[in-house]
Amino acid sequence: MLVRGTEAAIVDTGVAGSAGDIGDTLTSMGLTYADVRHVILTHHHPDHIGSIDDVLAMAEGAAAHAGAEDLDEIARDRIDALVGGEEIFGLEMLATPGHTEGHISVIDHDAGILVAGDALNTFDGGVQGPNPDFTADLDVA
């Protein structure tokens, strides 16, 4: 979750049933789902989009975004296509295909934060290349 003043962007919604935990995190920051302006999905795997329906139902005014190449797998009408290079909520969308064809990473230049979804593997405590067991195209990744 990335916050700008009294507004938030949620990056990935976690597994099914995570909307309550996301709501608790918003509350801990003095925010509610009504303060969510954007929901950005890094890719279509269920551990990243599992709560999208519940989150969008509670964040009624939020725009939703995902990589264009992943939209068929997500299959929701309310999600806008990203190709990389867009700026949303002061965040840069970066096309990082490989894990999935439409994988998107999010850069917050102001805060020095990269949300890489599953484009990076941090197994064993260090940053490594993509996990070959869960990567659609290792050459691209």
The residue ranges of every structural domain in the chain are 2-134
Q: Residue length, the chain?
A: 141
E runs forming strands in the chain: 2-4, 7-11, 36-41, 63-67, 79-82, 87-88, 91-95, 104-108, 113-115
Residue 80 pLDDT class (50, 70, 90 cuts): very high
Q: Is the pLDDT of residue 57 over 70?
A: yes
What is the pLDDT averaged over residues 34-53?
Answer: 97
User: What confidence score (pLDDT) does residue 141 get?
Assistant: 65
User: What confidence score (pLDDT) does residue 23 get?
Assistant: 98
Give burial (CB, 10 Å; 0-12/13-18/19+) of 74.
Answer: middle
User: What confidence score (pLDDT) does residue 91 get?
Assistant: 97
Distance CA 76, CA 66 (A): 10
Put simply, whether the predicted model's pTM sits higher than 0.85 gets the answer yes
Residue 120 pLDDT class (50, 70, 90 cuts): confident
Name residues whose C-beta falls within 8 Å of residue 14's C-beta, 6 or more positions apart in sequence.
21, 22, 47, 48, 50, 51
Maximum distance among all alpha carbons in the chain?
43
CATH 2.30.130.10 applies to domain 2-134: no
The β-bridge partners of 87 are 92
Top pLDDT among 107 and 119 is at 107
Report the half-sphere exposure of 28 (CA within 13 A, side-chain side).
Answer: 7
Q: Is the pLDDT of residue 125 over 80?
A: no
